[in-house]
Amino acid sequence: MGRIAGHLSVHMIPCRSNKHVKAITYTRYGPPEVLQVNDVDKPAPGDDEVLIRVRAAEATKSDCELRGFRFSVNWFWLPLRIAVGVTRPRREILGGYFSGEIAAVGKDVTRFAVGDAVFGTAGLRMGAYGEFAALPAAYTIAAKPANMSFAEAAAVPLGGLNALHFMRLAKISPGDRVLINGAGGSIGTHGLQIAKSMGAEVTAVDKAEKAAMLERLGADRFIDYQQEDFARAGRTFDVVFDMVARSSYRACLSVLKPGGRYFSGNPRLSVMLRTALTNRFTDKSASFAFAKETMEELETLREMIEEGRIVSIVDRTLPMSEAPEAHRLVETEKRNGAIVLLIGEPDEAGEESK
Ligand SMILES: NC(=O)c1ccc[n+]([C@@H]2O[C@H](COP(=O)([O-])OP(=O)(O)OC[C@H]3O[C@@H](n4cnc5c(N)ncnc54)[C@H](OP(=O)(O)O)[C@@H]3O)[C@@H](O)[C@H]2O)c1
């Protein structure tokens, strides 16, 4: 990443308007139609922040959950509602995972230079559904993989960071048998590729429409959960990654070998309690650790992508005006890979740019 030596003020690259920019906003919780493209004030970066001209943002399950304020796991409903806005959303621009270019840097920022192509996470600030987002330079932001378009790169951080976190916790050894439940989702598709690159033999569980994609990504076996119960397939595993919010804990544990490791991406309260019992009273281990989404992990992902070990699976790209459709596709799971919003004017979104 380029460094800026001795600058004293915020450096800017030109944009269409000095004051107003476009963003997909929502001012009340509700169905996808609450998302609208509006003019908003252009954010200004603080001394330790960067201004990012966003090119692409993944439309994620979390964005949909926050928009509608409906969650598959409910134990954090009240604290989260207090945090994000009781009667209406406090932050009107969603979007946690993006790619784009550095448009300006605050005077204390040395890690980035204007014009750097980047990808990363917007953390609790969100705002990646807007043409410009001001974020702390210390956030998980890194150079965009040179061999990916902006759209492809935006589809990596959510699934990639969470998958890498779980795969490392699992301490996979070559030859380990790994089962990924919900392998066709954002985390699952990255988890599958990372597990394969660590030498695992992977069984992917999802629905039939995703079989071909998962086999292309390296799955050794595929189980269609609508046709077959993986717990009755007669195979046992060293590691089970469970990315399905309402799956059966008992079924996942039943296919673990002695000494096997179970990881849950989206644990219910009951699963959290049961993991403690599993760890205390059985020869298996269970964990629901949440990913920290670190800079080091993002840099590792970029290296893996540039070495050809991970590819990005984008089902569709849509312009800002079709944000409601993007959310509908994510919510109804009518997708085979990520749904990515191209941010900015269509001719500026830079989908083809590498
Ligand atoms: N722990 C963390 O730090 C963390 C961070 C981010 C997200 N999460 C959570 O982790 C989970 C996975 O995230 P994601 O972004 O990968 O979600 P996702 O993209 O929605 O993927 C879930 C996948 O599971 C499939 N599926 C649904 N029901 C299934 C079943 N009964 N058996 C097998 N597969 C099934 C879905 O396919 P169909 O619905 O099309 O059948 C989809 O392909 C989510 O619950 C998310 O909230 C955890």
Distance (angstroms) between ligand 1 centre and the Cα of 182 equals 5
Packing angle of the helix pair 157-169, 186-197 (nearest 10 deg): 50
Global confidence as pTM: 0.88
How far is the C-alpha of 331 from the C-alpha of 334, rounded, in Å? Answer: 8
3 state DSSP class of 206: strand
H or E segment and range at residue 238: strand 237-242
pLDDT at 12 over 70: no
Over residues 154-185, the pLDDT tens digits come to 999 999 999 999 999 999 999 999 999 999 99
How far is the C-alpha of 153 from the C-alpha of 325, rounded, in Å? Answer: 21
Which atom belonging to ligand 1 lies closest to the Cα atom of 188? 16
| pLDDT for residue 74 | 66
pLDDT at 13 over 70: no
Distance (angstroms) between ligand 1 centre and the Cα of 299 equals 24
3 state DSSP class of 124: helix
How far is the C-alpha of 198 from the C-alpha of 200, rounded, in Å? Answer: 6
Nearest residue (by CA) to ligand 1, atom 7, is 265
Binding pocket residue ranges, ligand 1, CB within 6 Å: 61, 72, 159, 162, 181-182, 184-188, 205-207, 225, 243-245, 247, 265-266, 290-291, 333
Over residues 106-117, the pLDDT tens digits come to 999 999 999 999
| pLDDT for residue 81 | 79
Please name the residues in contact with 57: beta carbons below 8 A apart, sequence gap of 6 or more.
95, 97, 98, 128, 129, 154, 340, 341, 343
Which of 58, 61, 65, 339 should be mutated for ligand 1, with most atoms under 8 A from CB? 61
How far is the C-alpha of 122 from the C-alpha of 95, rounded, in Å? Answer: 7
Q: How many CB atoms lie within 10 A of CB 212?
A: 11
Cβ atoms 43, 135 nearer than 8 A: no
Domains within the chain, CATH numbers bracketed? 11-156+312-353 (3.90.180.10), 158-287 (3.40.50.720)
